[in-house]
Structure 1
Amino acid sequence: MDKVIGQIDRALDATGAIVVAVDAAQLTAPTPCKEWDVRTLLNHLVGDMHVVAAELSGTDPGADHEDDSLGADPQVAWAAAAEIDRAAWHRPDALTGTIRLAGGELPGVAAATVHLIELVVHGCDVAVAIGRPDLADDELCAELLATMHERGGIDAFRKPGVFGPEVAVADDAPAHRKLLAYLGRTW
């Protein structure tokens, strides 16, 4: 159980470094998430972090998931959300119960894994969008991809359109590219 919390910490750090690298002109850049630019994707991610942290701590998130969570300074909004998110996952009871996410209630460890996927994949989406794939944590991407394969893949999520069909990539592609391709991302 501690492994997934450690991975969430690493994902928060890695995605945080990517968010710091985003300049204002890049907020309108397209991302591998079709129909979302960098700002929309970051807003989704920051909003999700607030909602999940509120669910874990039994508080009101203060806003709906897709409300404007970024305001005028995406880096400041990210940093605040990351602090709240990290603290919520480090609660002693974070993985013991069920957690209500957008897709329904999940056991704590499963919810943590879904959250980890959100953090890592969307961090990679932003890194690719801003031309900084070097900031992606390829070790963490490889671990996450291996976990997804070990747990039977994500085919159940392909049907409702959460993820697209797997995209072919070279065997020697970096882990972040393999992860994004597995989830149907094109770039």
Structure 2
Amino acid sequence: MTDARPLFARATTQAADLIGTVRPEQLSGPTPCTEYDVRTLLSHVVGACTRIAVCGERGDGLHVRMFVDGVPDDGWPRAYEDVRGRVVAAWASDERLATPVRVPWGEVPGREALPLYVMEVVTHTWDLWEGLGRPLSLDTELAEYSLAVAHEALPDGPRTDHPFQPVVPTPEGADVYGELAAWLGRRPLSPV
């Protein structure tokens, strides 16, 4: 199994770069996560990253809320950057990869949990990228890796035990991010 830590670090850097482009007037805009506007998605991205950090630090982050409150409109880049450094450090040791961690889908070695966290960061980066009007180029290798993880971890049929919608048709002309989004039940906000 590939060590997911370098890809995880790259995924968090890509997310940080994208979050750095957010303008306050975009915060109420839609995202492919139909229940989240940009602000709510950012709250979830920072909250989920905090949970992943605590999981890496203590072996269990399930008690951590998946959303954060109180971030000022222009404070999202700083909020994410603060937790990004923490989460990368929390998963840096070889011992963390070998040690079981408690995650929403059970107790598994850290090396089995981290690829799904790469997929989560990459997917929410795409969600935000769509919501912000696709302001930057995205790292194709991260999407390819995440799509392989998604295919392995998630069924193509009903997903009653997963937080993802059923697979939707991949839009014609979609890139690998579009394929990943479709596998996770997401649709782009505008044509490819």
Calculate percent identity across the aligned residue pairs: 31
The residue that corresponds to 1:16 in the other structure is 16
The residue that corresponds to 1:146 in the other structure is 148
The residue that corresponds to 1:100 in the other structure is 102
- C-alpha displacement of 1:18: 0.9
In 2 relative to 1, CA 69–91 (structure 1 residues): closer, same or farther, beyond 3 Å?
farther
- C-alpha displacement of 1:178: 1.1
Deviations 1:57-96 (A, max 9, x none): 12997x8413525611111000001100111111231211
Partner Cα separation in structure 1 for residue 112 and residue 158 of structure 2 = 14
Farther off after superposition, 2-11 or 175-184? 2-11
> What is the letter of the counterpart of residue 92 of structure 1?
D
In 2 relative to 1, CA 96–111 (structure 1 residues): closer, same or farther, beyond 3 Å?
same
The number of residues matched between the two structures is: 185
- C-alpha displacement of 1:156: 7.8
CA contact (8 A) 2:45 2:67 kept: no
- C-alpha displacement of 1:170: 4.2
Deviations 1:81-132 (A, max 9, x none): 1100111111231211111223432321221012111100000100011111
Superposed, which structure 2 residues align to 1:97-176 within 5 Å? 97-132=99-134, 134-149=136-151, 151=152, 153-155=154-156, 158-160=159-161, 162-170=163-171, 172-176=173-177
Of residues 66, 80, 83, the one that matches 2:82 is: 80
- Post-superposition, which runs of at least 4 consecutive aligned residues in structure 1 deviate over 6 A? none
> What is the letter of the counterpart of residue 111 of structure 2?
V
Q: Helix, strand or coil: the match of 1:95?
A: helix
CA contact (8 A) 2:42 2:76 kept: yes
Gap runs ≥5 in structure 1: none
Which structure shows the higher helix fraction? 1
Deviations 1:9-65 (A, max 9, x none): 11011111111111111111111112111111111121121122122212997x841
TM-score of the superposition, structure 1-length normalised? 0.86
Farther off after superposition, 94-103 or 18-27? 94-103
Q: Helix, strand or coil: the match of 2:107?
A: strand
Partner Cα separation in structure 2 for residue 96 and residue 157 of structure 1 = 32
TM-score of the superposition, structure 2-length normalised? 0.84
Q: Helix, strand or coil: the match of 1:158?
A: coil
Farther off after superposition, 79-88 or 161-170? 161-170
In 2 relative to 1, CA 89–66 (structure 1 residues): closer, same or farther, beyond 3 Å?
same
Partner Cα separation in structure 1 for residue 66 and residue 153 of structure 2 = 30
Farther off after superposition, 126-135 or 99-108? 99-108
